[in-house]
Every structure is written in structure tokens, then in C-alpha cells.
Amino acid sequence: MNETAIEFRDVVKCFGDVTVLNHLNFSVKKGEKVSIIGPSGSGKSTVLRILMTLEKIESGAVYVAEQPLWHEIREGRLAPAGERHLREMRREMGMVFQQFNLFPHMTVRRNITEAPRHVLGLSKNDANARAEEYLQLVGLSDQADKYPHQLSGGQQQRVAIARALAMRPGIMLFDEPTSALDPELVGEVLAVIQRLSQESDLTLLLVTHEMQFAHNISDRVCFFDKGEIVEDGPPEVIFTHPKEARTREFLKLD
């Protein structure tokens, strides 16, 4: 587990006058399961959005699978990344958002097969077989012909997970995947992510407000505040005897 899957080196990200990431240094090893916790507005989602190239950074560097995300080597020199490089880098990662963002006019099966067919060039049969494999993994094999509006929020989020997995990324990013769900539907989505974390060698980076869940699935938990990592350690330490006062306060341990 020595290869680095994700690395932020001295990254600064601002929105206008507001510094959202303040010289952030952060890395995740290949196969590691890491949760980011912290107060609202601390920059947690921004980390994931930068990885998906949905946001640019002001300075510093981001590496994915040990390659620079925003730069590429052209003619032996480091040059700003072209669209092709960005597309290739994005392919290393699958992201599941708070909102499921399924295509409403497509069946569940087509939601999952669309990218494998058109981005990876899989045949219809191969893409369908892949959709079946991942629908089984998320427990929705019998829903392939339904449309998103015919499913519960929890089922839609499980389809979104299957859709991301069907691209076979090495890294899965989850941005508060249960925060848009009714409480009674949270468990089924967490169960799927938990199974993924136990049974796969995927690298997993999860932003969550579900502390017990972060405790259960993570190798490491990072507590973010004001765009910095205040504390970073195994869940047994962070959730029971963190060193930093700010972490204790956030977790209401005092």
C-alpha cells in the first residue's frame, strides 16, 4: 500500500476573497479508505470537486495516481493539461454526489451502460453484463428496466454508485452521499458503501457527516476546519481521544 492515489501539495483555493483551502497538504494511499469530516463550509466538498476538475486551484499541485492532474509532460516539459489529459485523469475516479444526478429519461440499465459504451467503447452486450454485475452489487438487479422517478431516493443513490463503479475507476469519491436522503433510506446506501470498503481494493475518499459510519469504514479520518487539516489519524483515535481542541469541540467530546 505504498503507492499514492491522491496528493494535494500546498494547494490554495479561493472563491473571491475567501480562502477555502489554505496551503493544504493531504494524501491518500492506494487502497486506503479515508473520511473527511468537519464543519459546514470548511472546504471538504471543494477537495473532491478539485479532484474531478470541477474547480481549479490558485496554486500548489494535485496528483492523482502519481500524475499531475492539471499538468502533463509534453515534449519533456511540464505544460498545462489539455482536455485529453484531464479526461484521462478523470477516468481514474468515480464520484457520487449528494444529489444522484441520474439521467431521468433513461432506464436504470441505460444510466449505467451509457458511459461504458460511449466513453470506454464497450459493446452493448458487454456494457449490459457490466450493468448487471454492479446492479447485483448494490442489490438492485430487479430494477434495471425502471426509470429513476420510479425508485426511492436510496435506490437512486445506489444506482448512482453502480454507475460510477461501472467505469471501473481506481478511486471512488463520495460527497455526503446520504445527506439528501430521508433518514429511513440512509442505511441501505451506507451498507453498500461499507460493503465496497470491505470487499474491494478501491481507494475511497468520503466526505460525510455520518460519524459512526466514518468510524466503521475508514482506515483514516481527517478533520478539516477552515481549509486546513486540523487532525488526521485512525478512527479509534480521532473519535475517542483526539489531540486537538478544535476536533474535541466539533465532536462534542468535552
Ligand X SMILES: Nc1ncnc2c1ncn2[C@@H]1O[C@H](COP(=O)(O)OP(=O)(O)OP(=O)(O)O)[C@@H](O)[C@H]1O
> To the nearest whole angstrom, how small is the minimum distance from the Cβ of residue 116 to ligand X?
29
Nearer to ligand X, 86 or 180 (CB): 180
* Site membership for ligand X, residue 2 (CB under 6 A): no
Interacting residue with ligand X among 7, 8, 42, 113 (CB under 6 A): 42
Q: Grid coordinates in use for 151? A: 425508485
Cα–Cα distance measured from residue 207 to residue 97, given in angstroms and rounded to the nearest whole number: 10
Interacting residue with ligand X among 32, 43, 151, 221 (CB under 6 A): 43
The H-or-E segment that residue 222 falls in is strand 220-225
* Site membership for ligand X, residue 11 (CB under 6 A): no
The residues near 34 (Cβ < 8 Å, ≥ 6 apart) are 28, 204, 205, 206, 218, 219, 220, 221, 222
* Site membership for ligand X, residue 15 (CB under 6 A): yes
Q: Is the separation of the CB atoms in 190 and 208 below 8 Å?
A: no
Interface with ligand X by CB under 6 A: which range of 38-46, 156-164, 185-193, 242-250?
38-46
Nearer to ligand X, 127 or 206 (CB): 206
Cα–Cα distance measured from residue 118 to residue 126, given in angstroms and rounded to the nearest whole number: 12
Interacting residue with ligand X among 11, 20, 222, 230 (CB under 6 A): 20
Q: Is the separation of the CB atoms in 134 and 97 below 8 Å?
A: no
Chain contacts with ligand X (rule: CB under 6 A): 15, 20, 38, 40-46
